[in-house]
């Protein structure tokens, strides 16, 4: 009886202090700590690798579902979230800017928050959200009306709510924030509306703005409420006033490297898409690069000053956003590197200290717009594969149409790759597709699409678009490839158990052998998977979770590909798995 009472007392105490504050040290140690998942990317290096090996190549066939949780109602659409796990509670974001706290043991809802979006929001590419961030006693996430919201971890009550941009001008926010030294740091979305890409850092406790860093040259940043420094040099690589609506949306969030104390955000396409408009008034041999659009930008997290940049696609003209995640890793010789698989079809390795170019390889086939990357990391353009200048057309309305590979949805889009330090390989969810693209005249109008281009995406092969590739960053070799009929749109995770997890639009959540690509396990989740898997340990067992819920940019923008996948059913749910007993 006494023992029972003590057990009850302990249980009561545990319940009352169940949700502990998350510290900077907890976040810094997230990649190594197996009992929680506190950050987007399973660690701020974004490797999405777990040291857990209880589920492994030998027993993966015994993985079974434990519970599922519906995101239902009428609010379906794409579910691109990465779950967070803290103190036995799972936190997930859902379509239409919703956030749920769920008991990780049984799938029971603890609380939910619905941002109640205003009329007139302008999400370009589905009403998705890619995840939240936890720090202290709060959880943070971005909403489609371009706000960042801080909620009480225990109750889901709003603690503060701040505007990051004007949703009527096309600003929104879908990426998970990143937390560094007590600052909650966010980018913005809206590159198809001529917004200006920016990174903002706020005091996580109060929500007060600490610094801003616009990523298009000519704009001026702020620090503690005052102007800080100009980004780049006014009109150095942009003609006239176009920089004022120059795009470069920082829509996929950032990574943080504690070794060099650097945050890295990517910037999307320069606006408008029609690249000839951005070189007006310049001799064609000396066109502007349109910095820092289509670039990765290394910044000081304390003040937002730019340390270095690497532009993947200068004077970009195919919507090859430069936002894809930068993964920090150490190569086999011990050198500290960044790696990124760009929309433009090339996989880059950069030096972690200064962002300098190390190497690049094509990771999709038939790339048409460039024949390669030179020793400085600059593309070697195939000039005849640039969509034509409409001002040279007879009617001045439609430039020459070209067929470009990759399509604007990219050799790889937002869906994050994984790095396994165990194999040294990167596992890249890629797509093999091209597009007809042409340019048209356009002028900026607030809240209207600002493209100056038309396009139709087309598959390249009859049997597949998706291709999960294992890439060796040291040799540039593709070690194995697994093809998929529909385009891949889900994140990838690797584990010390030698497994690679990802999902398909056809609904299958799969585990592959990290050395060979052999499929070891598959489970049909009922709708397409465009989410990001995670794994953690609870009560001595290894658990795995992924969201299911078809949507995202492909059905909205995919042209002939969208027709090909129009049979896929919507639905929103979280699935949790472990080994059968």
Is the Cα torsion angle 109, 113, 117, 123 positive or negative in sign? Answer: negative
> Closest residue to Ca ion, Cβ-based?
33
Q: For residues 117 and 125, which CB has a smaller minimum distance to Ca ion in the complex?
A: 125
Which class for 483: exposed (0-12), middle (13-18), buried (19 or more C-beta within 10 A)? middle
State in angstroms the smallest separation of the CB of 124 from Ca ion. Answer: 8
If phi over 0 gives left and psi between -120 and 50 gives alpha, with beta otherwise, what is residue 269?
beta
Cβ closest to Ca ion, residue 409 vs residue 465: 409
Name which of 175 and 201 has its Cβ closer to Ca ion. Answer: 175
According to the 3-state scheme, what is the secondary structure of 65-127? EEEEEECCCCCCCCCCCECEEECCEEEEEECCCEEEEEECCCCCEEEEEECCCCCCCCCCCCC
Contact between residue 231 and residue 218 where contact means Cβ atoms under 8 Å apart: yes
The H-or-E segment that residue 209 falls in is strand 209-214
Contact 354, 313 (CB under 8 A): no
Q: Is 319 a catalytic residue?
A: yes
Q: Give the residue with the Cβ less far from Ca ion, 187 or 571.
A: 187
Work out how close the CB of 321 gets to Ca ion at its nearest, in angstroms, rounded to a whole number.
Answer: 4
Any idea what the Cα angle at residue 562 is, between residues 556 and 563, rounded to 5°?
130
CA dist., res. 389 & res. 381, Å (int): 16
Maximum separation of any 2 CA atoms in the chain, in Å: 93
Helix, strand, or coil here: 148? strand
Per-residue DSSP letter, 189: B
CB of 228 to Ca ion, least distance (A): 27
SS (H, E, C) 265-330: EEECCECCCCHHHHHCCCCHHHCCCCCCCCEEEEECCCCCCEEEEEECCCCCCCCCCECCCCEEEE
Give the up-direction half-sphere exposure of residue 327: CA atoms within 13 A in the CB hemisphere: 32
Cβ 254 to Ca ion shortest distance, Å: 17
Q: Which is nearer to Ca ion, 39 or 222 (CB)?
A: 39
Tell me how far, at minimum, the Cβ of 409 lies from Ca ion, in Å: 9
Is the CB of 105 or the CB of 307 nearer to Ca ion?
105
Report the residue number, 470 or 546, with the smaller CB distance to Ca ion: 546
62 by DSSP, 3-state: which? Answer: helix
The number of beta carbons lying within 10 Å of the beta carbon of residue 32 is: 9
Distance of closest approach, residue 312 Cβ to Ca ion, in angstroms: 13
- 319, 342, 389, 514: the catalytic one is 319
Can you give the binding site for Ca ion, defined by CB under 5 A? 30, 33, 36, 191, 268-269, 319, 321
Q: How far is the CB of 462 from Ca ion (least distance, A)?
A: 28
Distance CA 83, CA 209 (A): 27
**Least Å from the CB of residue 38 to Ca ion:** 6
Q: Which CB sits closer to Ca ion, 251 or 509? A: 251
Active site residues per annotation? 319
């Amino acid at each position: 009886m006494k023992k029972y009472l003590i057990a009850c007392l302990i249980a009561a105490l545990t319940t009352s202090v169940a949700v502990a504050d998350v510290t900077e040290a907890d976040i810094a140690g997230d990649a190594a700590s197996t009992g929680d998942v506190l950050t987007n990317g399973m660690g701020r290096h974004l490797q999405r690798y777990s040291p857990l090996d209880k589920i492994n190549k030998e027993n993966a066939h015994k993985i079974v579902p434990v519970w599922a949780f519906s995101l239902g109602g009428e609010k379906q659409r794409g579910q691109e979230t990465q779950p967070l796990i803290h103190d036995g509670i799972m936190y997930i974001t859902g379509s239409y800017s919703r956030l749920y706290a769920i008991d990780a043991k049984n799938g029971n809802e603890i609380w939910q928050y619905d941002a109640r979006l205003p009329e007139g929001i302008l999400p370009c590419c589905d009403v998705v959200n890619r995840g939240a961030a936890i720090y202290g006693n709060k959880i943070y996430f971005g909403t489609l009306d371009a706000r960042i919201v801080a909620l009480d971890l225990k109750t889901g009550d709003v603690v503060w709510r701040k505007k990051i941009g004007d949703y009527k001008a096309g600003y929104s926010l879908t990426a998970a924030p990143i937390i560094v030294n007590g600052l909650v740091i966010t980018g913005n979305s809206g590159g198809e509306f001529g917004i200006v890409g920016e990174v903002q850092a706020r005091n996580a406790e109060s929500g007060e703005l600490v610094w801003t860093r616009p990523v298009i040259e000519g704009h001026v940043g702020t620090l503690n409420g005052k102007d800080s420094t100009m980004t780049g040099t006014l009109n150095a690589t942009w003609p006239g006033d176009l920089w004022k609506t120059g795009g470069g949306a920082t829509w996929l969030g950032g990574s943080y490297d504690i070794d060099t104390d650097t945050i890295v955000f990517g910037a999307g396409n320069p606006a408008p898409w029609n690249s000839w408009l951005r070189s007006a008034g310049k001799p064609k041999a000396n066109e502007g690069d349109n910095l820092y659009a289509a670039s990765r930008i290394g910044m000081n997290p304390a003040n937002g000053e730019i340390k270095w940049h690497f532009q993947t696609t200068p004077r970009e003209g195919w919507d090859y956003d430069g936002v894809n995640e930068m993964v920090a890793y150490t190569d086999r010789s011990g050198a500290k590197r960044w790696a990124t698989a760009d929309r433009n079809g090339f996989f880059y390795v950069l030096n972690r200290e200064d962002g300098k170019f190390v190497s690049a390889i094509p990771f999709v086939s038939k790339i048409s717009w460039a024949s390669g990357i030179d020793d400085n990391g600059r593309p070697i353009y195939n000039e005849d594969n640039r969509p034509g200048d409409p001002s040279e057309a007879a009617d001045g309305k439609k430039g020459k149409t070209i067929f470009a590979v990759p399509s604007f949805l990219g050799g790889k889009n937002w869906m994050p790759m994984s790095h396994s330090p165990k194999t040294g390989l990167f596992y890249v969810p890629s797509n093999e597709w091209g597009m007809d693209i042409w340019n048209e005249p356009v002028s900026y109008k607030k809240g209207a699409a600002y493209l100056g281009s038309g396009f139709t995406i087309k598959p390249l092969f009859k049997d597949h678009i998706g291709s999960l590739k294992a890439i060796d960053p040291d040799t540039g070799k593709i070690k194995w490839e697994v093809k998929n009929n529909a385009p891949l749109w889900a994140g990838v995770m690797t584990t010390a158990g030698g497994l690679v997890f990802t999902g398909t639009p056809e609904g299958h959540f799969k585990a592959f052998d990290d050395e060979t690509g052999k499929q070891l396990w598959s489970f049909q989740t009922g709708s397409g998977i465009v989410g990001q898997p995670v794994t953690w340990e609870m009560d001595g067992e290894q658990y795995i979770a992924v969201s299911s819920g078809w949507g995202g940019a492909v059905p909205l923008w995919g042209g002939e590909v969208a027709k090909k996948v129009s049979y896929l059913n919507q639905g929103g749910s979280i699935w949790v798995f472990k080994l059968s007993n």
